[in-house]
Amino acid sequence: MTSADAPSSVDGGSVRRPLVAILSGAGISTDSGIPDYRGPQGLWRRDPEAEKVVTYETYMADPEIRRRAWRMRRESPALRARPNAAHEAVARLERSGVPVRVITQNVDGLHQLAGMPARKVLELHGTAREVACTRCHVRSSMAEALERVAAGEVDPACLVCGGILKSATVMFGERLDPRVLGEAVGVAKAAEVFFAVGTTLQVQPAASLVGVAAEHGARLVIVNAEPTPYDGVAAEVVREPIGTALPRLLGALG
């Protein structure tokens, strides 16, 4: 915990504010125009071949897959999207003085664009707003890489060492950053209220954070259109649209 989460004293007494953790999945960003992956209209259901583009082994071995990946990145709505009412409600709660930590499975950066301090957002699956070299691991801007693609480089290489560039996201076949995952587990253990929002809770180890939070006494609230494996241990399950439900729920806390 940081000093911002510590108990504060008022007139000699102690006022303790509970830590609120929010695990967000693709469903929180659909109102921003970013389709989810596993929902009824999800990308994986509409185009099963798309998984190859985000599978590390295939991406590294097949130049045509990489070219397709760069075309998809240029066309992706993620970098053009803006935060919606749900992202803004999370940032508003944090500004009210309530200790808030976001653990997100998303790579769109919309929590930060809405006003959440970057240090309070744990991006389990990385970020689509940067690229990383698979050889020297230097990072740079995705926008700059896409400018090179627009100028005619169908598979731009690292400008430092010539290695293969990829989105700074965790692809299938890659491990999550152990530091980020460790911090997420710590947040789940410390949270007194834990929201799981817009996530099917089927992808591990992200989904296991819900169980960790519940085992450590957090009040679990699930906001998702479809049932999840953890509905049975939740104190509250909300099926309403996230854009209206989450602002209401978080407004009550603030």
> Which whole number is the average pLDDT over 135-157?
97
Q: Tens digit of pLDDT for each residue in 156-207?
A: 999 999 999 999 999 999 999 999 999 999 999 999 999 999 999 998 899 9
Claim to verify: residue 117 and residue 140 sit in the same structural domain: no
Check 87, 111, 125, 137 and give the catalytic one: 125
User: In the structure encoding, which two tokens stand for residue 107, read together?
Assistant: 């790579």
Q: Which of 49-58, 114-123, 126-135, 193-202 has the lowest mean pLDDT?
A: 49-58
Q: Tell me the pLDDT band of 11, cut-offs 50, 70 and 90.
A: very low
- Asked if 192 and 162 touch (Cβ cutoff 8 Å), the reply is no
Q: Measured on CA atoms in the order 182, 96, 109, 211, is the torsion positive or negative?
A: positive
- Domain of residue 114 covers 1-34+83-125+175-254
Claim to verify: residue 164 and residue 140 sit in the same structural domain: yes
Claim to verify: residue 151 and residue 185 sit in the same structural domain: no
* 125 assigned to active site: yes
Where residue 135 sits, what CATH number does that domain have?
3.30.1600.10
Residue 248's Cβ-count burial label (10 Å; 0-12, 13-18, 19+) is exposed
Residue 12 has pLDDT above 60, yes or no: no
Where residue 179 sits, what CATH number does that domain have?
3.40.50.1220
Residue after which a domain boundary falls, among 135, 169, 203:
169
